[in-house]
Structure 1
Amino acid sequence: MKAKWWSCVLALLCMPAEVMPNTRTVLQSPLTISNVWINSSLEIKCSTPQGDPIGLSLKRHFLGDEQILYLHFDKEVVTKNTTADKFLNRISITEEQLDPGVGYKFKLSLLEQKDTDLYYCSWVYIDEKYNNLNLESNGTVIIVGEGGPVKACSLRTVDLTLICLSIVAFTGILLMFICLMIVRCRRFKKNFTPFRGYAPPLPPRPSRPPRPPRTNQPRNIYMQQQTVNHCPYMMTSTHDYGIFGNV
């Protein structure tokens, strides 16, 4: 299937040069890529505004421009001349009324993975010189995959479920974070100790002088003794040193 995917991409980029100028005169739908499932069906509409074609071919590109079917127009009679064996009983044709122009709808049924290919329409005309002129469309890439279509309802249910789960998870995480912050704040307040600046120690208090002993002497005599004791550098002498006096 990977080879098929790359083939589809290369087919869109490497279409024959002679096909591109003719896209203005022939139309095909659906355009670009169409994804379908095994055993499903797909309709391809081919139309042209030019009248009086002599034939219409539905071809697939990846297998060497294999012709799936060919319709021959003879005035108002339409004849299906050939049909590929791979699409026997799997393709139906419906004519569409266009004014002006001609259109046909091909319905491919019971598609398989091997039907993955680029399908395009080729209208056959006769020019002024009675030569066959083929006008080809860009084509439609049909990719047939395994499995079945997924209902839109189930997709919406899954999306809503994922959104609700995301909201619930976010709310739960937010509540847990708030509770954790509250617990930490309470623990911090409980164990909080205010900061106290450094205070230098107080100097020691001076000691009080001892009380004088109680004696019967008068208080003034005690004070004189105390004064003498506080001035030890003063000395008295009975010697006479002459003119220098007492030292």
Structure 2
Amino acid sequence: MGLGRGQSPLLMALVPLLTCLQTGMSLEHISYVPQLSSATLGGRLTQSTFTLEQPRGQFSHPSISDSDAIWLVVAHSNATQKFTAPQKVEDTPVPADFPQGGYYLTLRASRALYPGGQPSNQLWVLRVGNDTRCSPRTRGCNHPLPGPGPYRVKFLVMSDRGPMAETEWSSETRLQQAEVLQAAPGPHTAGTVVIIAILSVLLAILLAALLTLLIFTWYDTCGSTPISGPGELVFMRKYDTHHMSRPSAVGAS
């Protein structure tokens, strides 16, 4: 901005101050890219969560104090360009704003939770979307993610005066999707229909034969005419055979 000879010395003195204020409004850049956890970790990606490596030792800059809040910004991949850091904690978007705004802040922490120099054999991760108990309208709620994504994340440092520093955006992360049962190919499906039809016909024939057998058995047992009824008289004739007759009496001598 150029100054003419007629401008006051007060305005000339304010120029450096305005320049300083404009410079202070820009966020400090932290050259760190959030990364997914190791591929061998169980539950690294699910249908509503994903797991990040903790950004340990990334917030040791002197301008960041232990009382500053470190937020994780979760955004749809196509909403990163329109992200605007909130100026106050009260203005931080919540998960309920995600469908319309395209991003929200969660997993508030401090740099004391992300120290450097820890042993490498310990597992330090952040599971995004892992809290099913909090309300999506609660500030900082780590609510399950609403869909497969893709998502991108970054860390944002905020003090009482507003945003202080930010990391780079991560690469795209896509969640797992439920597998949909696919219909079998056409020829195989036609063959299956023919087999089912044949089996149905055979089953119908078997049932008909069984029903016929049951009817025939019932008719033979309960429906036949008896030889003699209850009121009939049965006459029997006595037959004497010759060989069963008593021998004739022998005369006395």
| TM-score when normalising by structure 1 | 0.27
More strand by share: 1
**TM-score using structure 2 length:** 0.27
Between structure 1 and structure 2, the one with the greater Rg is 1
